[in-house]
Amino acid sequence: MTAVNGGAAPGRGAAGEETETGARTSPGRADDTVAAVVRQWQAVHPGLDTGPIEIIGRINRCAALLQQAEDAPLRRVGLTRPEFELLCALRRTGHELTPSELARETFSSGAAVTKRLKQLTERALVERRGDTRDRRVAHVRLTDAGRDLVDGVVPEQLTYETAVLSGIDSAAQRELAGLLGELLGRLEGRLGALRF
């Protein structure tokens, strides 16, 4: 989100208190990057409602930081995250998928999926089978090597994610999962028609 650009800024009120501008600060951590961004916006636009930045900005920042760390196992096996997401889609569904279905599963464009499938096919991680009734349709499935690769990397990622969340108690994790699920459901309903 373009509104969440900027470095740290000095000073802020205690969580939940009003600042000098009259805007309320969020009840979260006082020292995260988004809190600093919010303070900067409140300084230049005192009446601006920064509530969305405090939520969406933090989600975006968390996602970026998590992906940087999670991509390390992928780099070791020579995969990009989008390529790995295609492999995971095939593994978790447990059956062949068409390129169009893979595009929907991974929120990708058809052209991007075609390019990734070409690279994965060259590495013998997936194989394509033509449809017997419609030659325009292809069916994609994991090879044994592709399945073994996914099964080797996913546990490593889940171990990392468990460690990241270990500082948050179980009840808070369930609450956070529920809130994020509600937000995601609303976004999927509202923005689903805009998918590639």
Asked if the model's pLDDT at residue 68 lies above 90, the reply is no
CB 53 within 8 A of CB 62: no
Residue 4: per-residue pLDDT: 53
pLDDT at position 22 is 42
pLDDT in tens, 32-41: 999 999 999 9
More confident residue, 31 or 59: 59
Of 93, 86, 134, 137, nearest to 107 by C-alpha is 86
Per-residue pLDDT tens for 74-119?
888 999 999 999 999 999 999 999 999 999 999 899 999 999 999 9
What the chain holds in terms of domains, given with CATH numbers, is 19-76 (no CATH), 79-146 (1.10.10.10)
What b-and-e string marks burial along 113-149, b requiring 16 or more CB atoms within 10 Å of the CB? beebbeebeebebbeeeeeeeeeeebbbebbeebbeb
Q: What is the mean pLDDT of the chain?
A: 83
Q: What is the mean pLDDT of residues 50-73?
A: 90
111-140: pLDDT as tens digits: 999 999 999 999 999 999 887 787 788 899
0.85 surpassed by pTM:
no
Residue-wise pLDDT tens digits, 10-21:
333 334 444 443
Residue 17: per-residue pLDDT:
43
Q: Report pLDDT for 16.
A: 44
In the three-class reduction of DSSP (H, G, I as helix; E, B as strand; rest coil), residue 138 is classed as strand
Sequence letter at residue 124 = A
Q: Helix 58-76 vs helix 33-44: angle between axes, to the nearest 10 degrees? A: 140
Look at residues 122, 120, 100, 121 and name the one whose alpha carbon lies nearest to residue 111: 100
Tokens of 98: 């068409």
Check: CB of residue 139 under 8 Å from CB of residue 123: no
In 3D space, the residue among 58, 40, 62, 38 whose CA is nearest the CA of residue 49 turns out to be 38
